[in-house]
């Protein structure tokens, strides 16, 4: 039995307390920065545009010379230059008259609209002024941001390094995915799920080999990965006589949480060794998935300076979801046309239940299930 | 002037008609398939589990021998085997009695609970049966799916190849990003935005060099990329005397749409050459962004067999958004605590307006703007 079950909220708080956003920095070319987070404010070295630029096809003119011009009383101008969109305005000219507001008779331009200064002109520095902060520290870079950086002549930027997340599969029964498991054996499959999520969530997974259920081996592998920003141990986290990971944490550092009120996902532990946060994830894959989403995702996002922005959809329940009071229930649902249909096979080991699901609904711990017809928020699986 | 402006809806319909989901297939190792789309149903070659597996720590027993057992009248069993979670049940045994429901006295096990067959046992094929479709054609692979494939011994799968999207920047005024533009010149920056989005949306960008504003050069580059699944031409799409792209389309194939009622984004064209769909994107970066989101995104997703699942948030407008009736207005907004704040600098060339925005709101064409306090749906920029 677990000595004391913690709420998911408490476990998350303890874990986030241990996770400081990574402050290491790397400089990389802007074309590789999509999705990365700026480590410092980026100041523009230049004005954008760097010259007064025609914003339309037409004629560059001196705006003062168009005073009083209208359809009924055109003004005649002799100083004008034909310009195309994007062209530099010649010195002394400060506006562009559109083709439809003008008519060329020989060398004389008839203008039928009065222009204010800089009409149809992108002025120097109108978009960005030299010295302006174009993008701030902690900004997550998106494709148009890369174009903006490029536009002001910036080719490389400082971004935060991705948090390194050690992923340690444990278990005497585990064999490589390429093997055929004998009775009593199982393929090691959790790490492919964990590593893929770590990548999606902005981290850099570092996968260890499979570690046997043995106190010393677990100690050694934890020591080896103490330089990481987060250690995830998969399996051996419950209260059986070969579940060593939580005990090892207690011995090497601190064990803040062992057992959480999450179903599936109870055998989850949170601790730290020499300042490195450690999460022990259940060996059953669906339980591991629940812990990943509820604890590891916010932790990795925090380490990576990213907002925790789960994709959500509102939906109506097609059927009742039973739940265990006192526990947050992680219920898989399929989603179609605004209706969420619970995937009924609910065992923590039943991976195929996730394959059929589009996302999950959380049943709060103070409820005994959710009723048919209730409005729920579905978190879409990435 | 444009001969005939089309609605965004019409332009999108024409474009999607031209885009058939790519049916080329590649076989890749499952660890590289995250986000990819299955090209065929995947059948399990094995049962999962492949043996009757203890789902608990306890004793394997024959369930029939526990008949009538209860706390008050325990049953004594001599045939039992200690098993750990995950172990294979020995032949002839069909249930596992939990430690808390049993007590070992010498060689005799006292059982205090009656067990039905397969109680606390994961039966052969309970998760997946050999021959079952574990994941269907067109399924987008997510991390738990990779674990499921791994669990049944599948190391490689057939996925659709990513659609190849040619990205062709055009314009005499364009210089490389590493150059300092002289008056009248501009750095070529749209392609970094377009290519990054194509990647995010599931495509494989193929970037050409910068093409001059010249009919023959544009023809040649289109011919060169006719093997692509989609061609995106950036710039030269309006009605000026050097806007050759739409005319070239008309000459080489078909021009279905030239000019759409999107603000910014009007100088957008849709056509096809020898069956390859072509979109001409405005040269102004914000206009290009609007066309990318409203037309190119759904097209690339369709080619890639992906659902078009924009991330949305409901919000309340902090200020009025003015708009041009008859046009869909692509209004950039920043988003905080459920309040959407329009980014007021609205020029199609003002890239910094996007840097300050979290997403966009679409003002429908039949409205004259949106009022302060209105509920809007914000599409979050990827």
Q: How far apart are CA B102 and CA B75, in angstroms?
A: 9
Interchain CB contact of B123 with A (< 8 Å): no
Interchain CB contact of B92 with A (< 8 Å): no
Q: Which of A86, A173, A311 sits opposite B311 (nearest CB)?
A: A311
Condensed to tens digits (0 to 9), the pLDDT of residues B61-111 reads 999 999 999 999 999 999 999 998 889 999 999 999 998 899 999 999 999
Residues of A in contact with B171 (CB under 8 A): 86
Count how many pairs of residues, chain A against chain B, have C-beta atoms within 8 Å: 197
Overall residue count recorded for chain A in this entry:
382
What one-character DSSP code corresponds to residue B326? Answer: T
How many other C-beta atoms are found inside a 10 Å radius of the C-beta of residue A242?
Answer: 18
Interchain CB contact of B181 with A (< 8 Å): yes
Residues of B in contact with A51 (CB under 8 A): 183-184
Task: Give A122's pLDDT tier (boundaries 50, 70, 90).
Answer: very high
Among A351, A357, A379, most B C-beta atoms within 10 A, so best to mutate, is A351
- Scanning the structure block, which residue is given the tokens 């990213």? A306
Q: Which CATH number fits domain B25-48+126-160: 3.50.50.60, 3.40.50.720, 3.90.105.10, 3.20.20.450?
A: 3.90.105.10
Condensed to tens digits (0 to 9), the pLDDT of residues B317-340 reads 999 999 989 999 999 999 999 999
Q: Which of B146, B178, B283 sits opposite A196 (nearest CB)?
A: B146
Contact between residue A286 and residue A329 where contact means Cβ atoms under 8 Å apart: no
Top-level CATH class of A312-380?
Answer: mainly beta
- Report the pLDDT value the prediction gives residue B239, as an integer from 0 to 100: 79
Residues of B in contact with A187 (CB under 8 A): 150-151, 153
Longest Cα–Cα distance of chain B, Å, equals: 99
What ipTM is given for this predicted complex? 0.94
Task: Give B146's pLDDT tier (boundaries 50, 70, 90).
Answer: very high
- Report the pLDDT value the prediction gives residue A85, as an integer from 0 to 100: 87
Interchain CB contact of A31 with B (< 8 Å): yes
> Which residues 227-256 of B have a C-beta within 8 angstroms of A?
238, 240-242
Question: Does the pLDDT of residue B39 top 90, yes or no?
Answer: yes
Q: How far apart are CA A303 and CA A24, in angstroms?
A: 11
Q: Bridge partners of B167?
A: B207, B232
Q: How far apart are CA B56 and CA B62, in angstroms?
A: 15
Q: Do A145 and B183 touch (CB under 8 A)?
A: no
Interchain CB contact of B285 with A (< 8 Å): yes
Task: Give A190's pLDDT tier (boundaries 50, 70, 90).
Answer: very high
Q: Among A100-109, B69-78, B131-140, B346-355, which is the least confidently predicted range?
A: B346-355
- Report the pLDDT value the prediction gives residue A155, as an integer from 0 to 100: 97
Contact between residue B313 and residue B335 where contact means Cβ atoms under 8 Å apart: yes
Q: Which residues of B141-177 are buried (b: 16+ CB within 10 A; e: fewer)?
A: bbbbbbbbbbbbbbeebbbbbbbbbbbbbbbbbbeeb
Question: Does the pLDDT of residue A151 top 80, yes or no?
Answer: yes
Question: Does the pLDDT of residue A100 top 90, yes or no?
Answer: no
Condensed to tens digits (0 to 9), the pLDDT of residues B227-262 reads 999 999 999 888 777 889 999 999 999 999 999 999
Interchain CB contact of B199 with A (< 8 Å): yes
Q: Looking at chain A, which residue has its C-alpha nearest residue B355?
A: A145
DSSP 3-state of B307? coil
Residue boundaries of the structural domains of chain B: 8-23+162-303, 25-48+126-160, 53-122, 312-380
Interchain CB contact of A381 with B (< 8 Å): yes
Q: How far apart are CA A68 and CA A86, in angstroms?
A: 27
- Report the pLDDT value the prediction gives residue B208, as an integer from 0 to 100: 98
Strands B359-363, B375-380: parallel, antiparallel or unpaired by DSSP? antiparallel
pTM of the model: 0.94
Q: Which CATH number fits domain A8-23+162-303: 3.20.20.150, 3.40.50.620, 3.40.50.150, 3.40.980.10?
A: 3.40.980.10
Residues of A in contact with B150 (CB under 8 A): 177, 187, 189, 192
Q: What CA dihedral angle connects B236, B7, B366 and B341, to 10 degrees?
A: -50
Q: Do B355 and A148 touch (CB under 8 A)?
A: yes
In this prediction, what percent of chain A has a pLDDT beyond 90?
89
Task: Give B346's pLDDT tier (boundaries 50, 70, 90).
Answer: low
Strands B262-263, B276-281: parallel, antiparallel or unpaired by DSSP? unpaired
Q: Which of B135, B177, B241 sits opposite A150 (nearest CB)?
A: B177
- Report the pLDDT value the prediction gives residue B95, as an integer from 0 to 100: 96
- Report the pLDDT value the prediction gives residue A345, as an integer from 0 to 100: 66
Question: Does the pLDDT of residue A316 top 80, yes or no?
Answer: yes
Residues of A in contact with B286 (CB under 8 A): 144
> Which residues have C-beta within 8 Å of that of residue B270, sequence separation ≥ 6?
B11, B14, B15, B18, B255, B256, B257, B277, B278, B279, B280, B295
Top-level CATH class of A53-122?
Answer: mainly beta
Shortest distance between the Cα of A265 and any Cα of chain B, in A, equals: 15
Q: How far apart are CA B89 and CA B134, in angstroms?
A: 25
Residues of A in contact with B289 (CB under 8 A): 144
Residues of A in contact with B382 (CB under 8 A): 142-143
Interchain CB contact of A84 with B (< 8 Å): yes
Interchain CB contact of B148 with A (< 8 Å): yes
- Report the pLDDT value the prediction gives residue B345, as an integer from 0 to 100: 66
Question: Does the pLDDT of residue B349 top 80, yes or no?
Answer: no
Burial class (CB in 10 A: 0-12, 13-18, 19+), A147: buried
Task: Give B167's pLDDT tier (boundaries 50, 70, 90).
Answer: very high
Q: How many separate helices (H) and strands (E) can be counted in chain B?
A: 8, 26
Contact between residue B186 and residue A86 where contact means Cβ atoms under 8 Å apart: yes
**CA distances to A105, A112, B265, B270 from B330, in Å:** 40, 31, 8, 19
Q: How far apart are CA A47 and CA B186, in angstroms?
A: 12
Interchain CB contact of A184 with B (< 8 Å): yes
Q: How far apart are CA A276 and CA A253, in angstroms?
A: 9
Mean pLDDT score of chain A? 95
- Report the pLDDT value the prediction gives residue A346, as an integer from 0 to 100: 61
Condensed to tens digits (0 to 9), the pLDDT of residues B189-209 reads 999 999 999 999 999 999 999
Q: What CA dihedral angle connects B215, B218, B220 and B224, to 10 degrees?
A: -170
Helical packing angle, B215-224 and B245-252, nearest 10° = 60
- Please give the average per-residue pLDDT across A132-143, as a whole number: 97
Interchain CB contact of A55 with B (< 8 Å): yes
- Please give the average per-residue pLDDT across A1-19, as a whole number: 94
> Which residues have C-beta within 8 Å of that of residue B301, sequence separation ≥ 6?
B201, B202, B307, B308
Q: How far apart are CA B211 and CA B221, in angstroms?
A: 8
Fold assignment, A25-47+134-160: Molybdopterin biosynthesis moea protein, domain 2 (3.90.105)
Q: How far apart are CA B116 and CA A254, in angstroms?
A: 42
Q: Which of B128, B144, B186 sits opposite A289 (nearest CB)?
A: B144
State the sign of the Cα–Cα–Cα–Cα dihedral B354, B356, B358, B362. Answer: negative
Condensed to tens digits (0 to 9), the pLDDT of residues A257-277 reads 999 999 999 999 999 999 999
């Amino acid at each position: 039995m677990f000595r004391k079950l913690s709420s998911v909220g408490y476990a998350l708080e303890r874990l986030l307390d241990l996770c400081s956003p990574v402050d290491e920095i790397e400089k990389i070319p802007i074309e590789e920065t999509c999705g990365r987070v700026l480590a410092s404010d980026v100041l523009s070295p230049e004005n954008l545009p760097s010259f007064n630029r025609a914003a339309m096809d037409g004629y560059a003119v001196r705006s003062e010379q168009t005073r009083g011009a209208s359809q009924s009383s055109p003004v005649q101008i002799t100083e004008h230059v034909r310009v195309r969109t994007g062209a530099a305005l010649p010195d002394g000219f400060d506006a562009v008259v559109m083709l439809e507001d003008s008519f060329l008779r020989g060398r004389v331009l008839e203008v039928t609209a009065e222009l204010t200064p800089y009409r149809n002109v992108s002025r120097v520095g109108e978009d960005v002024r030299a010295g302006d902060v174009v993008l701030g520290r902690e900004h997550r870079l998106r494709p148009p941001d890369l174009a903006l950086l490029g536009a002001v002549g910036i080719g490389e930027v400082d971004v935060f390094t991705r948090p390194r997340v050690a992923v340690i599969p444990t278990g005497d029964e585990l064999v490589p995915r390429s093997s055929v498991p004998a009775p009593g054996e199982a393929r090691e499959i959790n790490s492919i799920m964990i590593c893929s999520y770590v990548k999606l969530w902005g981290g850099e997974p570092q996968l260890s080999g499979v570690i046997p259920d043995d106190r010393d081996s677990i100690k050694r592998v934890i020591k080896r990965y103490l330089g990481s920003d987060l250690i995830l141990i998969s399996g051996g986290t419950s209260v059986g006589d070969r579940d060593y990971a939580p005990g090892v944490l207690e011995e090497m550092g601190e064990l803040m949480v062992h057992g959480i009120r999450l179903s599936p996902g109870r055998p989850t532990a949170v601790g730290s060794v020499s300042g490195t946060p450690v999460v022990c994830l259940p060996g059953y894959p669906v339980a591991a998935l629940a812990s990943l989403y509820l604890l590891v995702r916010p932790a990795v996002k925090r380490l990576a300076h990213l907002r925790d922005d789960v994709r959500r959809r509102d939906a109506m329940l097609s059927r009742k979801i039973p739940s265990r009071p006192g526990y947050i229930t992680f219920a898989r649902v399929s989603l179609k046309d605004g209706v969420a249909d619970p995937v009924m096979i609910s065992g923590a080991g039943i991976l195929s239940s996730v394959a059929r699901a589009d996302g999950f609904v959380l049943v709060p711990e103070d409820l005994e299930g959710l009723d048919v017809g209730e409005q729920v928020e579905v978190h879409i699986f990435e």
